């Protein structure tokens, strides 16, 4: 069978090779996301008025030293959790069929957002306890910065020609070289970059800068979790369904939807909780008669 001719020549997944070591766009996307997120979080920490309603006592709940330590453990959580999550959620049989590939196959791609989220959550708990920092406020800062990493990560998926969408006859449908059917498909990677990355980042900017959301612990985290869960579930409607799902569910429910449902529920609870408690530096809500 001849390889599928893509709609246009995408960037080579390998930017440059240094001897036997390939430098891939996928790896660079993770670096850009992590350090871009760190830079943005530093800017938030430099604005103490965002973290409290009382201008006289406003202060960020952690400093640059804490963020540097957090970055290290978040990197471990993203890579380790993302890879293990991908294997457990999508390639379970690989654990006993080709266990070495679980580690070595990371160079081919294969990372799970939901696994990475669990890894980052553990990293936040570990770092917050080590520095005696308020965990929920650490989570709010990380949530505010995470869409930056999601944006670059989805662009890397597109460059790799992976995680394409379902067949479509829309004018922007694309053929991907690795598609064995060579069909015009939704560029679902770009949909996710726009929704999970740009749109979710914009929503969080509004919550943080216009609604002073960082003064309500848990609000930014809740908006991120619920927003990601909704956007991911919407894109799953046009993303190529998981082949390993039970046949009766194929076409209706995907693994991405199943894993996103708890995020939507948890996010909704955190939003409700944040608005039913007094903001930092604010006054408590009057009791109902």
210 annotated among ligand-binding-site residues = no
Q: What angle do CA 121, 70, 201 make, to 5 degrees?
A: 70
Tell me the binding residues: 154
């Amino acid at each position: 069978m001849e390889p599928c001719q893509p709609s246009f020549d995408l960037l080579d997944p390998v930017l440059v090779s240094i001897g036997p070591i390939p430098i891939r766009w996928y790896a660079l996307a993770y670096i850009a996301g992590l350090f871009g997120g760190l830079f943005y979080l530093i800017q938030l920490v430099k604005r103490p008025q965002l973290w409290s309603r009382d201008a006289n006592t406003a202060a960020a709940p952690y400093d640059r030293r804490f963020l540097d330590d957090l970055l290290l453990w978040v990197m471990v959580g993203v890579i380790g959790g993302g890879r293990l999550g991908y294997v457990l959620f999508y390639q379970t049989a690989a654990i006993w069929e080709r266990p070495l590939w679980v580690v070595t196959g990371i160079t081919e791609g294969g990372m799970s957002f939901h696994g990475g989220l669990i890894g980052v959550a553990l990293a936040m708990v570990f770092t917050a306890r080590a520095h005696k920092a308020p965990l929920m406020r650490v989570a709010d800062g990380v949530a505010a910065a995470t869409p930056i990493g999601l944006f670059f990560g989805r662009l890397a998926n597109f460059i790799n020609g992976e995680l394409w969408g379902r067949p479509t006859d829309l004018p922007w449908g694309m053929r991907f070289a690795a598609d064995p059917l060579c069909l015009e498909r939704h560029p679902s990677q770009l949909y996710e970059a726009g929704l999970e990355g740009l749109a979710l980042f914009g929503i969080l900017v509004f919550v943080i800068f216009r609604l002073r959301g960082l003064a309500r612990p848990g609000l930014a985290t809740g908006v991120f979790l619920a927003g990601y869960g909704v956007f991911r579930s919407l894109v799953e409607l046009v993303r190529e369904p998981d082949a390993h799902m039970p046949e009766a569910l194929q076409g209706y429910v995907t693994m991405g939807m199943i894993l996103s449902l708890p995020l939507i529920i948890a996010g909704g609870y955190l939003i409700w909780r944040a608005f039913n408690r007094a903001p930092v530096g604010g006054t408590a809500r009057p009791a109902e008669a």
